[in-house]
Structure 1
Amino acid sequence: MPTPPRPAWPKTLISAIPVLLVGLTAVLLPQAASAQSSTALAVSHKSPFNCGKTFYANNWTGTPAHNPSGSIDWQDYGSDDINGETVRATAAGTAYFYNAGSTSYGQWVEIRHSDGTRTRYAHLASMVKSAGSSMSVSQGTVIGTVGSTGGSNAPHLHYEQRTSGGAMDTSPTVEGVTVSLGQKKAITSTNSCGGSGNPHTPEEVCGSGYSVIDSAALTGGRVYLLYNSGNGYNCVATLKTTNLSSSTSMSAFLEPQGSSRTTDSGSYQYYAGPVKRSASGQCVKWGGSIGSSAYTSGFEHCG
């Protein structure tokens, strides 16, 4: 039986092929460009501590056994005791808060950055959000304090830089200093040092014994709730991150449940507050404002 002839393509379809190819190229090229740009988004990291603080960055080679090779254990340097130190985001991203209890990382935070990489901060004594929470952070945003929770033998900050694929970067770089396996280097923080960053911290504003237990973002800054377990007082402070050279209308307030509200408001360059109230065993409502941007919590953090 003879093979039937193949149908000829219409001339209109043949003439359309170059146009189709051009259109396909136009679709594919932006995707390729996007892929290239996404790989060029590598973020740079500052030290996770307050401006001017110097601590040892120790990149262990697998000992002690609980410490993965390539991670950094931040430890005391000279007369500076790291225990209780403020921990800040080394780069911007979204922070996720976890609690492994008395094992592994203990209380810890993972920040996922714009280029897909991640940093981890473990063995924290306190976190600014409860486990299971998340929040957007800028470079320098306070996320917790140094402690010794989980599988830790002494107060220190366990810090990791991980690739977008989840693998450990065994030669992490902070403040432009690379700490390779087996190395121990003293690194001084420039995190939140002037410029667009506020030189003050919420702990400094509220005073000795206060630790951040919650915070909320405002346009141009952040409002913080702190607690002093020694005297049962809460403290609220609102800190700016922009327009530090000019005074801005700001406020901070604190209201223990069943009591009147105390507010500090005015035109400030750096912060509003501190507002301190005895609140042991009480729920509190807290918040603040920068310009027209304001935050008010519900009654929470009871006890």
Structure 2
Amino acid sequence: MPETSRPAWPKTLKFAIVALSAAFVATLAPQAASAQNAGALAVSHKSPFNCGKTFNANNWTGSPNHNPLGSIDWQNYGSDAINGEPVRATAAGTAYFYNAGNTSYGRWVEIRHSDGSRTRYAHLATQVKAAGSSMSVSQGTQIGTVGSTGGSNAPHLHYEQRTSGGGMDTSPTVEGTTVSVGQKKALKSTNGCGGSGGNPNTAEEVCGSGYAVIDSAALTGGRTYLLYNSGNGYNCVATLKTTNLNSSSAASAFLEPKGENRTTDSGSYQYYAGPVKRDAAGQCVKWGGSIGSSTYTSGFEHCG
């Protein structure tokens, strides 16, 4: 019926409904908070660096030059310099790539994880995807390299762990170690080291020196990767298993420059299929792979 013809509710009934609603919301609030806290514990984070690398995790007490409070600056450890180090996802999720230019984070990435929580990686020298892009990542997938872009005075990795609501976790836990405000801890990475079902190889190691990941796709039981070597113009595809490791099973990797024949490596492998390398400078490529019956085939893309 028209709004003007609706009967008015008595004021006493209105107040009763408002009061009951407020009470109901109040009873739900602690449950919601508990659910959010439980979710924050659902994702386990490894160090954002290569297996075996040790760097200092500094959770500064806060100053005008270090915000927000609770973020970690990963810096040199001993004689190990961090500049140019590959930066890897600390947990699986969807990565979103940004470029803030000469201010704030500079080149940075946010990964949104399965429980709704987020991690941020800032001041990157390079990113594996252009700003405005996104990609699905596994724990250990490379997303960029350490640099000093944006509001940074020296090469380091700015790292944050945030709740699903965007709030800062001021005592983030990495590699099972909590780094609270005011603490500095040297943490050794086990990201991609194997054990507990982890593949001891990385796509970069499989393809070799000079290759960097520019795309990847999830498979049931693993992931297939597309890499590029800017030095020689070659692409490379490798498919890495994450299950049934150290046990031979069907896997494949393929690469097809547009207008040319496809090159495929397929067989029964313990850890990975590939590398498949082709000269594709200035050409679009179709790429992909398989693990068991799970397959991925791209369209023709990455045409630069």
* TM-score (norm. length: structure 1): 0.80
| Deviations 1:108-146, CA, capped at 9 Å, x for gaps | 221223443221011223334433333443433333332
Tell me which structure has the larger Cα radius of gyration: 1
Q: Which amino acid aligns with 1:127?
A: Q
Aligned to 2:239: 238
The 1:138–1:234 alpha-carbon spacing in structure 2 relative to 1, beyond 3 Å, is closer
**What is the alpha-carbon distance in structure 2 between the residues aligned to residue 230 and residue 44 of structure 1?**
36
The offset of 1:239, in angstroms, is 0.7
**What is the alpha-carbon distance in structure 2 between the residues aligned to residue 266 and residue 90 of structure 1?**
31
Mapping 1:182-201, distance limit 5 Å: 182-194=182-194, 195-201=196-202
Aligned to 1:126: 126
On the 8 A contact 1:129/1:215 being kept in 2, the answer is no
Q: Can you give the 5+ residue segments of structure 2 that lack an aligned partner in the other structure?
A: 1-26
**What is the alpha-carbon distance in structure 2 between the residues aligned to residue 182 and residue 30 of structure 1?**
34
**What is the alpha-carbon distance in structure 1 between the residues aligned to residue 137 and residue 28 of structure 2?**
30
**What is the alpha-carbon distance in structure 2 between the residues aligned to residue 59 and residue 38 of structure 1?**
23
SS in structure 2 of the partner of residue 124 of structure 1: strand
On the 8 A contact 1:212/1:227 being kept in 2, the answer is yes
Are 2:301 and 1:296 aligned? no
The 1:234–1:58 alpha-carbon spacing in structure 2 relative to 1, beyond 3 Å, is same
The offset of 1:158, in angstroms, is 1.2
The offset of 1:268, in angstroms, is 0.7
Equivalent of residue 38 in structure 2, options 37, 40, 51: 40
Mapping 1:190-229, distance limit 5 Å: 190-194=190-194, 195-229=196-230
The offset of 1:46, in angstroms, is 1.5
Aligned to 1:154: 154
| Deviations 1:192-225, CA, capped at 9 Å, x for gaps | 3212111101111111111111111111111111
**What is the alpha-carbon distance in structure 1 between the residues aligned to residue 105 and residue 53 of structure 2?**
24
The 1:35–1:182 alpha-carbon spacing in structure 2 relative to 1, beyond 3 Å, is closer
Mapping 1:85-100, distance limit 5 Å: 85-100=85-100
The offset of 1:238, in angstroms, is 0.8
Aligned length in residues? 276
| Deviations 1:259-301, CA, capped at 9 Å, x for gaps | 3222222111111111122222222221111112111212221
**What is the alpha-carbon distance in structure 2 between the residues aligned to residue 148 and residue 32 of structure 1?**
41
SS in structure 2 of the partner of residue 40 of structure 1: helix
Q: Which amino acid aligns with 1:84?
A: G
Aligned to 1:10: none
| Deviations 1:157-190, CA, capped at 9 Å, x for gaps | 2100123332222222211222233332210012
Mapping 1:109-120, distance limit 5 Å: 109-120=109-120
Aligned to 1:276: 277
SS in structure 2 of the partner of residue 237 of structure 1: strand
> After the TM superposition, which of the residue ranges 154-163 and 143-152 deviates more from structure 2?
143-152
The offset of 1:247, in angstroms, is 1.0
**What is the alpha-carbon distance in structure 1 between the residues aligned to residue 30 and residue 155 of structure 2?**
46
**What is the alpha-carbon distance in structure 2 between the residues aligned to residue 63 and residue 272 of structure 1?**
49
Identity %: 83
On the 8 A contact 2:136/2:217 being kept in 1, the answer is no
**What is the alpha-carbon distance in structure 2 between the residues aligned to residue 37 and residue 62 of structure 1?**
29
On the 8 A contact 1:128/1:215 being kept in 2, the answer is no
SS in structure 1 of the partner of residue 121 of structure 2: strand
> After the TM superposition, which of the residue ranges 36-45 and 226-235 deviates more from structure 2?
36-45
**What is the alpha-carbon distance in structure 2 between the residues aligned to residue 34 and residue 158 of structure 1?**
30
Q: Can you give the 5+ residue segments of structure 1 that lack an aligned partner in the other structure?
A: 1-28
**What is the alpha-carbon distance in structure 2 between the residues aligned to residue 40 and residue 285 of structure 1?**
42
Q: Which amino acid aligns with 1:215?
A: S
**What is the alpha-carbon distance in structure 1 between the residues aligned to residue 66 and residue 30 of structure 2?**
41
* TM-score (norm. length: structure 2): 0.80
Give the RMSD, CA atoms, in angstroms. Answer: 2.7
SS in structure 2 of the partner of residue 84 of structure 1: coil
Q: Which amino acid aligns with 1:267?
A: S
SS in structure 1 of the partner of residue 205 of structure 2: helix
Q: Which amino acid aligns with 1:108?
A: W
